[in-house]
Structure 1
Amino acid sequence: MTFGELGKYLEKLEGVSSRLEMTRMLAKLFSEVSPNEGRLVAYLVQGRLGPAYANPNFGVADKMMVRALGEGAGELFRKLGDLGLAAEKLSGEASAARANHKLNSNVQIQNVYLKLTEIAREGGEGSQGKKQELIGDLLQQMDPVSAKYAVKIILGKLRVGFSDMTVLDSLSWMVAGDKSLRPTVEAIYNVRADLGEVVELIKKHKTGPEIKKLQVTPRTGTPVLMARAERATAAGEIWKRNKSCAVEYKLDGIRIQAHCVKGKVVLFSRGLENVTEMYPDVVKGLTKQIRKECIIEGEMIAEDGEGNFLPFQQTAQRKRKYRVEEMSKKIPLVFYLFDVLAVEGKDVMREGNEKRRVILEGLVKTGGGRQTVRLIWRKTAKSAEEIDKYFEEAIARGTEGIVAKKLDGIYQAGSRDFNWIKYKKSYDASTLADTTDVLVMGYDSGQGKRAGFGMGAFLGGVYDKKTGKYYTVGKIGSGPSDEEWESLEKDLRKYIVDRKPEEYSVKKQAECDYWVRPKFVVEVKADELSASTAMHSSGFGFRFPRFVKLRDKQPEDVTSLSEIERLYKMQKRK
């Protein structure tokens, strides 16, 4: 496929508001490319050169692009407000001025991808001039539409408006003509969270029966989507579901998946970001204490000198790209391990939880001074009374509560099920028993004091996997400090879109001044849930919601609509 043909698809996709129409269009696009091209297209249609955890930054700002585009670009940019459109117009003018020189719409996708990669990798002294030169050379080979989208990709401003989940739907449509293969395709993605690789695999195997036979296993270096826990409000509820279970502390820290191989460690966040460089102390601890190649999971948390867990706010100070070494000494972390997914290339996710714990214990070296890497506290419960006892011990230890794990439960990548059940303390009987995670769908302009921050409140939504849509549960305007509020608005501003995304279900009464594409997940605490069919598309609304913190999660990992329904029923039983 040529980049010109891809550009035409991108132009059509930008004008589509229906998610179903977008899915079918993507299915047609992927049907027309080879397996290798499919990998590259999967990245390029989302404005990337690789999966989210290995996506190089182009390091090209608007000013540099204006210089690369040449004479007249600055004036056009001021007039149009979009450098992609400016590039398209300049390219068209160049074609008209040179009647005997037709601009090329036949540049192959692979060639454009290689040139874009070269631009991104250029660094060091004199790199700005070299980047400008490379951009100029690339655009001279392109037709106007291709030039527009190449510039948008380089600037990180391609806004086609669909998620990885839409691409997975499109692969099912491509093969089966409907969504029937979506669970199979998603199961592959959950274990290998690289959309390009998934597209390539599906293209190579072609038919539904072949795809269903695919055996994809964890691979060091490629993150696995993390398993999630269901929730309970009483020990009896846990015991009713899991008659024999292990109980572990639920820590309020930072969940991490560590990939260890040949003395090298890579750390992935729940949001699939490579965060290795943020935590040198944890990397050092893993290098010293882990015996074999493996993929392991746990929670990082800060402790004081006496081994007491510190509040999340202090642990969160370690999530930074600057002053990393200084902060690692000031706030050292402990990495508490609770699961293992693979050992020396062997998939152990299908083993029961009890067996995985034994394997995990055999991986960690202990003894000899302060241990950065430790095993999470764990007890086996034989009754609801024992679960309650361990819960009280956990609360006394300063944790959030417990996670009860089914002894023969497998590790269900990317899924929320009752193999794991979290049970947290309700600090106030008048409030909901647990916090919720919501997607920031959009926000309203600020008034009064908030006018200076540009945001008065943001609209939160929960996810329904059955429909692939987000449903509103409330507008949140309190909780964060002024600094947090200002920082959040600054981040949201970068992801504003011209129209409400198709996957957002919003009633007129809840609409916002600005819509934001799916990106930011926020933890919210509310006094209660009330029935709110008139105001909110979920049918429920928060009373007195407060912002707690930003969450490092994928948009699809927010609290589900079915969970909200369950929380409402739990609240009624109080």
Structure 2
Amino acid sequence: MTFGELGKYLEELEGVSSRLEMTRMLAKLFSEVSPNEGRLVAYLVQGRLGPAYANPNFGVADKMMVRALGEGAGELFRKLGDLGLAAEKLSGEASAARANHKLNSNVQIQNVYLKLTEIAEVGGKGSQEKKQELIGDLLQQMDPVSAKYAVKIILGKLRVGFSDMTVLDSLSWMVAGDKSLRPTVEAIYNVRADLGEVVELIKKHKTGPEIKKLQVTPRTGTPVLMARAERATAAGEIWKRNKSCAVEYKLDGIRIQAHCVKGKVVLFSRGLENVTEMYPDVVKGLTKQIRKECIIEGEMIAEDGEGNFLPFQQTAQRKRKYRVEEMSKKIPLVFYLFDVLAVEGKDVMREGNEKRRVILEGLVKTGGGRQTVRLIWRKTAKSAEEIDKYFEEAIARGTEGIVAKKLDGIYQAGSRDFNWIKYKKSYDASTLADTTDVLVMGYDSGQGKRAGFGMGAFLGGVYDKKTGKYYTVGKIGSGPSDEEWESLEKDLRKYIVDRKPEEYSVKKQAECDYWVRPKFVVEVKADELSASTAMHSSGFGFRFPRFVKLRDKQPEDVTSLSEIERLYKMQKRK
């Protein structure tokens, strides 16, 4: 496929608001490419050169692009407000001026991808000039539409408006003509969270029966989507579901998946970001203490000198890209391990939880001074009374509560099920049982003091996997500090879209001044949930919601609509 043909698809996709139409269009696009091209297209249609965890930054700002585009670009940019459109117009003018020189719409996708990669990888002295030169050379080879989208990709401003989940849907449509293969395709993605690789695999195997036979296992270097826990409000509820379970502390820290191989360690966040460079102390600890190649999971948390867990706000100070070494000494972390997914290339996710714990214990070296890497506290419960006892011990230790794990339960990548059940202190409080994680769907302009921040309140939504849509539960305008509020608005501003995304279900009364594409997940605490069919599409609304913190999660990992319904019922039982 040529980049010009891809550009035409991107142009059509930008004009589509229907998610179903977008899915079918993507299915047609992927049907027309080879397996290798499919991998590249999967990245390029999302404005990337690789999966989210390994996507190089082009390091090209608007000013540099104006210089690369040449004479007239600055004036066009001021007039059009979009450098992609400016590039398209300049390319068209160049073609018209040189009637005997037809601009090329036949540049192959692979060649453009290689050139884009070269631009991203340029560094060191004179890198800006070199990038400008490479961009200029690339655009001179392109037709106007291709130039427009190449510029948007380089600037990180391609806004086609679909998620990884839409691409997975499109692969099912491509093969089966409907969504029937979506669970199979998603199961592959959950274990290998690289959209390009998933597209390539599906393209190579072609038919539904072949795809269903695919045995995809964890691989060091490629993150696995993390398993999630369901909720319970009492020990008896846990015991009713899991008569045989282990109980572990639920820490309020930073969840991490560590990939260890040949003395090298890579750390992935819940949101699939490579965060290795943020935590040198944890990397050093893993290098010293882990015996074999493996993929392991746990929670990082800060402790004081006496081994007491510190509040999340202090642990969160380590989530930074600057002053990393200084902060690692000021706030050292302990990495508490609670699961293992693979050892020496062998998949152990389908082993029972009890067996995985034994395997995990055999991986960690202990003894000899302060240990950065430790095993999470764990007890086996033989009754509901014992679960309650361990819960009280966990609270006294300063944790959030407990996670009860079914002893024979497998590791369900990317799924939330009752193999793991969380029971938190907040479930006994007078406020709403547990916090919720919501997607920031959009926001309203600020008034009064908030006018200076550009945002007065943001609209939060929950997800329904059955429909693939987000449903509103409330507007949140309190909780964060002024600095947090200003920082959030600054981040949201980068992801504003011209119209409400198709996957957002919003009633007229809840509409926003600005819509934001699915990206940011926020933890929210509220006093209660009320029935709100007139105002909110979920049918429920928060009373007195407060911002707690940004969450490192994928948009689809927010609280589900069914969970909101369950929380409402829990509240009514109090």
Q: What TM-score bracket applies, with the shorter chain setting the length?
A: over 0.9
Q: In the alignment, which residue of structure 2 is the partner of 1:526?
A: 526
Local SS of the residue matching 2:428: coil
Give the Cα separation in 2 of the matches to 1:569 and 1:485.
Answer: 32
CA deviation profile, 1:355-398 (whole Å, cap 9, x unmatched): 00000000000000000000000000000000000000000000
Give the Cα separation in 1 of the matches to 2:468 and 2:348.
Answer: 30
CA deviation profile, 1:190-210 (whole Å, cap 9, x unmatched): 000000000000000000000
Give the Cα separation in 2 of the matches to 1:42 and 1:310.
Answer: 41
Local SS of the residue matching 2:57: coil
Where structure 2 has 5 or more consecutive residues not aligned to the other structure, the ranges are none
Give the Cα separation in 2 of the matches to 1:83 and 1:488.
Answer: 25
Local SS of the residue matching 1:320: coil
Local SS of the residue matching 1:7: helix
1:428 CA displacement: 6.7
Local SS of the residue matching 2:427: coil
Give the Cα separation in 1 of the matches to 2:166 and 2:433.
Answer: 33
CA deviation profile, 1:487-536 (whole Å, cap 9, x unmatched): 00000000000000000000000000000000000000000000000000
1:317 CA displacement: 0.1
Give the Cα separation in 2 of the matches to 1:393 and 1:428.
Answer: 15
Give the Cα separation in 2 of the matches to 1:132 and 1:323.
Answer: 30
Give the Cα separation in 2 of the matches to 1:432 and 1:355.
Answer: 36
Give the Cα separation in 2 of the matches to 1:58 and 1:487.
Answer: 23
CA deviation profile, 1:112-163 (whole Å, cap 9, x unmatched): 0000000000000000000000000000000000000000000000000000
Give the Cα separation in 1 of the matches to 2:524 and 2:149.
Answer: 37
CA deviation profile, 1:177-224 (whole Å, cap 9, x unmatched): 000000000000000000000000000000000000000000000000
Q: How does 1:313-324 map to 2 (within 5 A)?
A: 313-324=313-324
Give the Cα separation in 1 of the matches to 2:360 and 2:19.
Answer: 43
Give the Cα separation in 1 of the matches to 2:149 and 2:392.
Answer: 57
Give the Cα separation in 1 of the matches to 2:429 and 2:288.
Answer: 45
Local SS of the residue matching 1:197: helix
Q: Would the aligned equivalents of 2:260 and 2:295 in 1 still touch at CA under 8 Å?
A: yes
Local SS of the residue matching 1:426: helix
CA deviation profile, 1:469-499 (whole Å, cap 9, x unmatched): 0000000000000000000000000000000
1:426 CA displacement: 2.0
1:273 CA displacement: 0.1
1:433 CA displacement: 1.4
Give the Cα separation in 1 of the matches to 2:526 and 2:218.
Answer: 38
Give the Cα separation in 2 of the matches to 1:156 and 1:428.
Answer: 45
1:51 CA displacement: 0.1
1:498 aligns with 2:516: no
Give the Cα separation in 1 of the matches to 2:426 and 2:313.
Answer: 20
Give the Cα separation in 2 of the matches to 1:64 and 1:17.
Answer: 32
Local SS of the residue matching 1:299: strand
Q: How does 1:371-390 map to 2 (within 5 A)?
A: 371-390=371-390
1:163 aligns with 2:163: yes
1:8 CA displacement: 0.1
CA 1:353/1:428 → structure 2, altered by over 3 Å: closer, same or farther? Answer: closer
Give the Cα separation in 1 of the matches to 2:558 and 2:340.
Answer: 24
1:12 CA displacement: 0.0
Local SS of the residue matching 1:455: coil
Q: In the alignment, which residue of structure 2 is the partner of 1:44?
A: 44
Give the Cα separation in 2 of the matches to 1:420 and 1:384.
Answer: 16
Give the Cα separation in 2 of the matches to 1:453 and 1:235.
Answer: 44
Give the Cα separation in 1 of the matches to 2:296 and 2:174.
Answer: 35
Give the Cα separation in 1 of the matches to 2:456 and 2:427.
Answer: 28
1:429 CA displacement: 3.2
Q: In the alignment, which residue of structure 1 is the partner of 2:172?
A: 172
Q: In the alignment, which residue of structure 2 is the partner of 1:326?
A: 326
Local SS of the residue matching 2:318: coil
Give the Cα separation in 2 of the matches to 1:132 and 1:479.
Answer: 44
CA deviation profile, 1:74-112 (whole Å, cap 9, x unmatched): 000000000000000000000000000000000000000
Give the Cα separation in 2 of the matches to 1:473 and 1:426.
Answer: 20
Local SS of the residue matching 2:340: strand
Local SS of the residue matching 2:426: coil
Give the Cα separation in 2 of the matches to 1:564 and 1:152.
Answer: 38
Give the Cα separation in 2 of the matches to 1:466 and 1:377.
Answer: 36
Q: Would the aligned equivalents of 2:233 and 2:427 in 1 still touch at CA under 8 Å?
A: no
Give the Cα separation in 2 of the matches to 1:502 and 1:364.
Answer: 47
1:544 aligns with 2:544: yes
1:63 CA displacement: 0.2
Q: In the alignment, which residue of structure 2 is the partner of 1:224?
A: 224
1:65 aligns with 2:62: no
Runs of 4+ with deviation above 3 angstroms: none
Give the Cα separation in 2 of the matches to 1:407 and 1:496.
Answer: 45
Give the Cα separation in 2 of the matches to 1:324 and 1:349.
Answer: 33
Local SS of the residue matching 1:99: coil
Give the Cα separation in 1 of the matches to 2:453 and 2:132.
Answer: 35
Give the Cα separation in 2 of the matches to 1:78 and 1:512.
Answer: 27
Local SS of the residue matching 1:427: helix
Give the Cα separation in 2 of the matches to 1:288 and 1:368.
Answer: 11
Give the Cα separation in 1 of the matches to 2:526 and 2:71.
Answer: 55
1:427 CA displacement: 7.3
Q: Would the aligned equivalents of 2:427 and 2:434 in 1 still touch at CA under 8 Å?
A: no
Query: If the length of structure 1 is used for normalisation, what is the TM-score?
Result: 1.00
Give the Cα separation in 1 of the matches to 2:573 and 2:386.
Answer: 23
1:430 CA displacement: 2.3
Local SS of the residue matching 1:152: helix
Q: Would the aligned equivalents of 2:232 and 2:422 in 1 still touch at CA under 8 Å?
A: yes
Q: In the alignment, which residue of structure 2 is the partner of 1:555?
A: 555
Local SS of the residue matching 1:463: strand
CA deviation profile, 1:342-364 (whole Å, cap 9, x unmatched): 00000000000000000000000
CA deviation profile, 1:429-487 (whole Å, cap 9, x unmatched): 32011000000000000000100000000000000000000000000000000000000
Local SS of the residue matching 2:358: helix
CA 1:219/1:368 → structure 2, altered by over 3 Å: closer, same or farther? Answer: same
Give the Cα separation in 2 of the matches to 1:426 and 1:504.
Answer: 30
Deviates more, 1:430-439 or 1:110-119: 430-439
Give the Cα separation in 1 of the matches to 2:102 and 2:478.
Answer: 57
Q: Would the aligned equivalents of 2:406 and 2:419 in 1 still touch at CA under 8 Å?
A: yes
Give the Cα separation in 1 of the matches to 2:250 and 2:356.
Answer: 18
Q: In the alignment, which residue of structure 1 is the partner of 2:186?
A: 186
Where structure 1 has 5 or more consecutive residues not aligned to the other structure, the ranges are none
Give the Cα separation in 1 of the matches to 2:395 and 2:473.
Answer: 30
Give the Cα separation in 1 of the matches to 2:421 and 2:427.
Answer: 19
Give the Cα separation in 2 of the matches to 1:429 and 1:439.
Answer: 25
CA deviation profile, 1:305-332 (whole Å, cap 9, x unmatched): 0000000000000000000000000000
- Pairs aligned (count): 574
Q: In the alignment, which residue of structure 2 is the partner of 1:204?
A: 204
Give the Cα separation in 2 of the matches to 1:446 and 1:20.
Answer: 34
Give the Cα separation in 2 of the matches to 1:113 and 1:449.
Answer: 46
1:569 CA displacement: 0.3
CA deviation profile, 1:529-549 (whole Å, cap 9, x unmatched): 000000000000000000000
CA deviation profile, 1:287-312 (whole Å, cap 9, x unmatched): 00000000000000000000000000
Local SS of the residue matching 2:499: coil
Q: How does 1:318-397 map to 2 (within 5 A)?
A: 318-397=318-397
Aligned-residue Cα RMSD (Å) equals: 0.5
Q: Would the aligned equivalents of 2:443 and 2:513 in 1 still touch at CA under 8 Å?
A: yes
Local SS of the residue matching 2:458: strand
Local SS of the residue matching 1:566: helix
Give the Cα separation in 1 of the matches to 2:441 and 2:433.
Answer: 24
Local SS of the residue matching 1:475: strand
Give the Cα separation in 2 of the matches to 1:433 and 1:244.
Answer: 25
